[in-house]
Chain A
């Protein structure tokens, strides 16, 4: 049959094999049975050509008529191995058929009893018994690997669910009140209406001020602890202090703030006292994240610099800090969202339920002096939810959306910064 005749004959099975002289050969048949017979004919032809080996059985594929996808996974795979022990096998990987003739006989039989069912484009592969056979141990390994991956993926996906649920729930509840004017109006009518401008600005200043205090102290302390401190009792005491400070509940920080800043330092209940309290709360985490970022810079870089006669400070300035700044900044910025969300530390130290502020002009942006008390979003949310009766429906949800939006915005900023700085990382 030549090419034209095959085309004229309509749908056909395509037989492909890899001949000894390279490349791919193929032929076409009208039925599986004919194709099997075809294999034998090729085999016979090879024998008569006097080739040392007949048709190589290690890669024969038979594709049913229909869509053409030669690289698709075969529907059936049978194996042939002349050196297999025992009599005729099942054609499986473990008990392969022991010759091409047997293979074709068995295939013909299977086809006759209807065990080979091919849909359009599906293939049968007759492969030589693999030299590197998969052991049952390896098969198990793969199963377990896939299982582990699924479990981990599942738990990771489970993280998204609460996040999405919170966001959707809040947005739906807050929808009626959300508008630009909600952001820029002060609360009014005994907080039963209006917007969140005063608490928003309050939170903004609280967070910035606390960061302004905590970031330099935390980062510099982290640099000292990681780069200079020797492992002695003094360092161990500092480490202990940092760890314990991180574990102190925020309400205890609040009481400490009242004692230390409001009363002892004489700040009174004020923006400054509240910021200081927040700073103390965020400090240990900033120290820890700074240390981790610094520790990620390989020690070999430092030793190379020291050997070149660089001082510790020169090494830190030229090599260590430029390569750890992304981690340090990320740690610092993540503390912003924490400080913005905390209610307890500011509760007794500087936050008020209500204060009126100018809504327009420069005064709207700098409404609080350091000694003033201020409103804050987290506190405002608490008040709205528990103390205020007859408020506009959705008001507290609107406040929550603003708070969470603020946190998400800060986190996105931190992610963006990290991506940018990491792209400039140099090893």
Chain B
């Protein structure tokens, strides 16, 4: 299998609290990979291992190996390159205190793109991908923080796409937005998976079922089961998985 991300025996902890235990998992390229599991099961930590943002939590420690695009992430001497290749969308929308245009142009600018024409095209393309262009095309110089919550989340998505990542990670992107916007973004994701690998952490089991090609189930910082989404939902190998997807615990 052609894996975009490979976790080899990854263990992570915050101080004395273990968040991930010996996770070994392959995420195939150009698919949507769903990660489900109850609260506190280590889903977000797993995402943060991918682009090494776990390093920003002072007490966090990681062991094991995470391989992105054939390279061990710990081996990236330039961590900014790694983060540019991985787009992240977190649960709560964060509009940077900049204009809408500058929000999207932020990452390309920091990566050294300064040509106005190129930036314009990129901003439009990203905003279109995130289904936001039609709503904001006439007020790109408005502050991103003034948008509504759902719009800000789509802005966050546009921003995550602005550095042309090969991998897009979404962490419960829909908890702060309305169902219509959620559906819009879900459609976007289905289109995007033609080009990039998507990791979708979600609390909504049905969302994983709708979107994911493969799904992994995490519980209590362990990987319980991983497989084709259909199989996870209809014939789970593990009793715990069955109870979780049927809403019996979690």
Chain A residues with Cβ under 8 A from B107's Cβ? 308-310
For A304, give its contact among B96, B110, B162 (CB under 8 Å): B96
Of chain B, the residue at the smallest CB distance from A297 is: B97
B97 touches A323 (CB 8 A): yes
The 0/1 profile, CB within 8 Å of A marked 1, for residues 84-117 of chain B is: 1000101010111110000000110011000000
Chain A residues with Cβ under 8 A from B56's Cβ? 303, 306
Q: What is the distance, in angstroms, from B241's C-beta to the closest C-beta of chain A? A: 30
B94 touches A309 (CB 8 A): no
Chain B residues with Cβ under 8 A from A306's Cβ? 53, 56, 83
**Which 7 residue pairs spanning A and B have beta carbons closest together?**
A426-B97, A308-B107, A309-B83, A309-B84, A307-B88, A427-B145, A304-B94
B96 touches A301 (CB 8 A): yes
Q: What is the distance, in angstroms, from A274's C-beta to the closest C-beta of chain B? A: 41
Chain A residues with Cβ under 8 A from B92's Cβ? 300
Please name 13 pairs of A and B residues whose Cβ atoms are closer than 8 Å in the assembled complex, sorted by A: A300-B94, A304-B96, A305-B110, A307-B160, A308-B106, A308-B159, A309-B81, A309-B84, A309-B107, A309-B110, A309-B163, A311-B110, A427-B97
For B163, give its contact among A308, A311, A319 (CB under 8 Å): A308
Q: What is the distance, in angstroms, from A306's C-beta to the closest C-beta of chain B? A: 6
The 0/1 profile, CB within 8 Å of A marked 1, for residues 40-65 of chain B is: 00000000000101001010000000
Q: What is the distance, in angstroms, from B175's C-beta to the closest C-beta of chain A? A: 15
Does B177 lie at the interface of the complex (its beta carbon under 8 Å from any beta carbon of A)? no
Give Cα A306–Cα B159 distance, bound, in whole angstroms.
12
For B83, give its contact among A308, A318, A322, A425 (CB under 8 Å): A308
Does A363 lie at the interface of the complex (its beta carbon under 8 Å from any beta carbon of B)? no
Chain B residues with Cβ under 8 A from A427's Cβ? 95, 97, 143, 145
A426 touches B98 (CB 8 A): yes
Give Cα A427–Cα B107 distance, bound, in whole angstroms.
20
Give Cα A26–Cα B58 distance, bound, in whole angstroms.
73
A318 touches B106 (CB 8 A): yes
Task: Report A's interface with B, CB cutoff 8 A.
Answer: 230-231, 300-301, 303-311, 314, 318-319, 322-323, 425-427
Q: A309-B80, A426-B98, A427-B97 are contacts. A231–B110 as well, Cβ < 8 Å?
A: no
Give Cα A425–Cα B58 distance, bound, in whole angstroms.
30
Chain B residues with Cβ under 8 A from A311's Cβ? 80, 110
Give Cα A220–Cα B84 distance, bound, in whole angstroms.
28
Give Cα A418–Cα B156 distance, bound, in whole angstroms.
30
Residues facing A in B137-171 (CB within 8 A) are: 143, 145, 156, 159-160, 162-163
Q: What is the distance, in angstroms, from A296's C-beta to the closest C-beta of chain B? A: 12
Chain A residues with Cβ under 8 A from B160's Cβ? 307-308
Give Cα A425–Cα B163 distance, bound, in whole angstroms.
27
Give Cα A308–Cα B160 distance, bound, in whole angstroms.
7
A307 touches B145 (CB 8 A): no
Give Cα A406–Cα B101 distance, bound, in whole angstroms.
44
Give Cα A264–Cα B143 distance, bound, in whole angstroms.
54
Chain A residues with Cβ under 8 A from B163's Cβ? 308-309
Of chain A, the residue at the smallest CB distance from B107 is: A308
Q: A426-B145, A427-B145 are contacts. A308–B110 as well, Cβ < 8 Å?
A: yes
For B106, give its contact among A310, A322, A323, A426 (CB under 8 Å): A310
Known: A303-B94, A311-B110, A426-B97. 16 other contacts (CB 8 A): A300-B94, A301-B94, A303-B56, A304-B94, A306-B56, A306-B83, A308-B84, A308-B107, A308-B159, A309-B84, A310-B106, A318-B110, A319-B96, A319-B98, A322-B97, A427-B145
Give Cα A73–Cα B111 distance, bound, in whole angstroms.
66
Residue among A305, A308, A425 with the highest chain B CB neighbour number at 10 A: A308
Q: What is the distance, in angstroms, from B159's C-beta to the closest C-beta of chain A? A: 6
Q: What is the distance, in angstroms, from B6's C-beta to the closest C-beta of chain A? A: 21
Chain A residues with Cβ under 8 A from B80's Cβ? 309-311
Give Cα A304–Cα B107 distance, bound, in whole angstroms.
10
